[in-house]
């Protein structure tokens, strides 16, 4: 077809090969550990990056998923991994060497924080500055002659802080560094980091890309020259490959991502508005609210849809918070995010992560992944739980 296709069309059709010998409409699952090598003189890439040789290097379902992700994000190429953490580690270990310096969002996923606070400095002699990347001038001031990577998580997990990607990409490139962006909290529909100067876009596909809570996966997207390096090190030699079955599940989930993200965003905004107006609530941050500290940036970078992640806290002591969780019927107390059903997890005031978060978070808070349920039903569940714990 001619012309530019919309996200919904790309999510359904991009990457599909439809070359099954039996005429199957849905892509088959290619459960094979190796492939027949041509003997007719066809060139073979023995690295396995560009030829089907061995499943650890590349498999057909992986290729379908990668092509669909590229179509949705504008990336030249993609590498998919067995988990989001594997994708993150692939980027950090591919592009950082001993003696290099990295600037990293201090508010970030716990595994990212641990990699940069512990493993990369101690095992690989990598210098790290963790800071609030929503403060653009702090990022600028942290640049050193040996800075090779700026890694930004936006929206930040779990505080939903929004970093200024246009400005930070200019800072990175002026310093000769790469900019990598973990956009898991937004998914590839609500945010397009590559169009704002990011060199590498990273997602835990377990979350909004898959969207159904039944498969783990991670991806890295960007220019072919960069992604080839990631594939050679982390897929071929570290062995972080995504299985064909998981790739098939995630590609199936991705086909409904535009529909799901519209619902997540619509429902989350209504829930956040309720929380903001509720006398039992101490604070609420959601990028779609005008009260969010970086709302204007969210308007610029999130394409009018602000995803499903809300952070908030209720008034009351620790006992009240636990009673609130115990009293929820529709919302499930669980980790992870981006599922069809609403999930909530509590960070109590003794959490070792709280000192790294904005001051308003340090008394404890809830990270709320708003699902696809009707907004009125979610709000009713929150209300009755607040009443049950005595704060409303």
Does residue 267 fall inside a structural domain?
yes
pLDDT of 230-285, one tens digit each?
A: 999 999 899 999 999 999 999 999 999 999 999 999 999 999 999 999 999 999 99
Q: Which of 222, 254, 286 is the last residue of a domain?
A: 254
pLDDT at residue 2 above 50? no
**Banded pLDDT at 94 (limits 50, 70, 90):** very high
Mean pLDDT of 59-66: 92
| pLDDT reported for residue 79 | 97
Instruction: Looking at the structure, tell me whether residues 192 and 292 fall in a common domain.
Output: no
> Do 34 and 216 contact (CB within 8 A), yes or no?
no
- CATH number of the domain that residue 164 is part of: 3.40.640.10
What is the separation of C-alpha 291 from the centre of its chain, rounded to a whole number of angstroms?
A: 24
Instruction: Looking at the structure, tell me whether residues 227 and 324 fall in a common domain.
Output: no
> Do 168 and 150 contact (CB within 8 A), yes or no?
yes
Distance, CA of 160 to CA of 294 (rounded, Å): 9
Mean pLDDT of 141-146: 98
3-class DSSP assignment, residue 286: coil
Instruction: Looking at the structure, tell me whether residues 306 and 337 fall in a common domain.
Output: yes
Task: For 223, list phi and psi in degrees, rounded to 5.
Answer: -70, 150
Q: Residue 23: which region, alpha, beta or left (left: phi > 0; alpha: psi -120 to 50)? A: left
Does residue 298 fall inside a structural domain?
yes
Instruction: Looking at the structure, tell me whether residues 182 and 137 fall in a common domain.
Output: yes
Q: Which of 254, 277, 299 is the last residue of a domain?
A: 254
Residue holding tokens 């002026």? 174
3-class DSSP assignment, residue 332: strand
Does residue 1 fall inside a structural domain?
no
Instruction: Looking at the structure, tell me whether residues 107 and 202 fall in a common domain.
Output: yes
Instruction: Looking at the structure, tell me whether residues 165 and 19 fall in a common domain.
Output: yes
**Banded pLDDT at 21 (limits 50, 70, 90):** low
Instruction: Looking at the structure, tell me whether residues 212 and 281 fall in a common domain.
Output: no
Based on the structure, what is the number of domains in the chain?
A: 2
Q: Which of 228, 254, 280 is the last residue of a domain?
A: 254
Q: Angle at the Cα of 228 (from 121 to 98), degrees rounded to 5? A: 20
| pLDDT reported for residue 20 | 65
Instruction: Looking at the structure, tell me whether residues 229 and 335 fall in a common domain.
Output: no
Distance, CA of 49 to CA of 62 (rounded, Å): 12
| pLDDT reported for residue 4 | 81
**Banded pLDDT at 50 (limits 50, 70, 90):** confident
pTM over the 0.85 mark: yes
Does residue 98 fall inside a structural domain?
yes
Instruction: Looking at the structure, tell me whether residues 175 and 229 fall in a common domain.
Output: yes
Instruction: Looking at the structure, tell me whether residues 248 and 262 fall in a common domain.
Output: no
Does residue 2 fall inside a structural domain?
no
pLDDT at residue 22 above 80? no
Lowest mean pLDDT among 56-65, 227-236, 306-315, 319-328: 56-65
Does residue 15 fall inside a structural domain?
yes
**Banded pLDDT at 18 (limits 50, 70, 90):** low
Does residue 352 fall inside a structural domain?
yes
Q: Given strand 147-153, what is the order of strands in its sheet?
A: 77-81, 218-222, 200-204, 178-182, 147-153, 101-105, 127-131
Give the domain range for residue 43.
7-254
Structure tokens at 316: 């009351």
> Do 199 and 182 contact (CB within 8 A), yes or no?
no
pLDDT of 322-356, one tens digit each?
A: 999 999 999 999 999 999 999 999 999 887 777 88
Instruction: Looking at the structure, tell me whether residues 342 and 288 fall in a common domain.
Output: yes
pLDDT at residue 77 above 60? yes
- Cis amide linkage into residue 144, ω under 30° from 0: no
Instruction: Looking at the structure, tell me whether residues 357 and 208 fall in a common domain.
Output: no
Distance, CA of 74 to CA of 78 (rounded, Å): 10
pLDDT of 293-302, one tens digit each?
A: 999 999 999 9
Mean pLDDT of 75-104: 97
Mean pLDDT of 7-17: 79
- CATH number of the domain that residue 325 is part of: 3.90.1150.10
Does residue 271 fall inside a structural domain?
yes
Q: Please tell me what DSSP assigns to residue 109.
A: -
């Amino acid at each position: 077809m001619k012309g530019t296709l919309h996200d919904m069309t790309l999510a359904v059709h991009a990457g599909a090969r439809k070359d099954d010998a039996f005429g199957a409409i849905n892509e088959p699952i290619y459960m094979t550990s190796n492939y027949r090598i041509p003997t007719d003189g066809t060139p073979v890439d023995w690295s396995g990056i560009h030829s089907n040789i061995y499943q650890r290097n590349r498999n057909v379902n992986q290729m379908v998923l990668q092509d669909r992700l590229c179509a949705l994000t504008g990336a030249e190429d993609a590498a998919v991994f067995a988990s989001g953490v594997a994708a993150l580690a692939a980027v950090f270990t591919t592009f950082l060497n001993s003696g290099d310096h990295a600037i990293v969002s201090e508010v970030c996923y716990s595994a990212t924080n641990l990699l940069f606070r512990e493993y990369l400095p101690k095992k690989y002699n990598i210098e790290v500055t963790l800071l609030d990347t929503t403060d653009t001038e702090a990022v600028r001031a942290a640049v050193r002659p040996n800075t090779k990577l700026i890694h930004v998580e936006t929206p930040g997990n779990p505080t939903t802080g929004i970093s200024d990607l246009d400005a930070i990409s200019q800072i990175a490139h002026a310093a000769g560094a790469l900019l990598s962006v973990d956009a898991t909290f937004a998914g590839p529909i609500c945010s397009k980091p590559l169009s704002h100067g990011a060199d590498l876009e990273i997602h835990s596909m377990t979350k909004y890309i898959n969207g159904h809570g039944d498969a783990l996966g991670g991806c890295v997207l960007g220019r072919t020259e960069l992604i080839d390096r990631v594939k050679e090190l982390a897929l071929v030699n570290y062995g972080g490959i995504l299985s064909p079955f998981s790739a098939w599940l995630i590609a199936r989930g991705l086909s409904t991502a535009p529909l799901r993200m519209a619902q997540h965003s619509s429902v989350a905004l209504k829930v956040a508005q309720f929380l903001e107006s509720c006398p039992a609530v101490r604070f609420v941050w959601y990028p779609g609210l005008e009260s969010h500290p970086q709302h204007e940036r969210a308007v610029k970078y999130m394409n009018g849809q602000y995803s499903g992640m809300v952070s908030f806290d209720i008034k009351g002591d620790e006992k009240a918070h636990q009673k609130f969780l115990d009293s929820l019927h529709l919302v499930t107390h669980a980790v992870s995010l981006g599922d069809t059903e609403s999930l909530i997890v509590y960070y109590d005031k003794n959490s070792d992560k709280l000192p790294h978060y904005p001051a308003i978070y340090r008394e404890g808070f809830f990270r709320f992944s708003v699902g696809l349920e009707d907004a009125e039903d979610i709000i009713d569940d929150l209300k009755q739980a607040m009443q049950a714990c005595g704060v409303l």
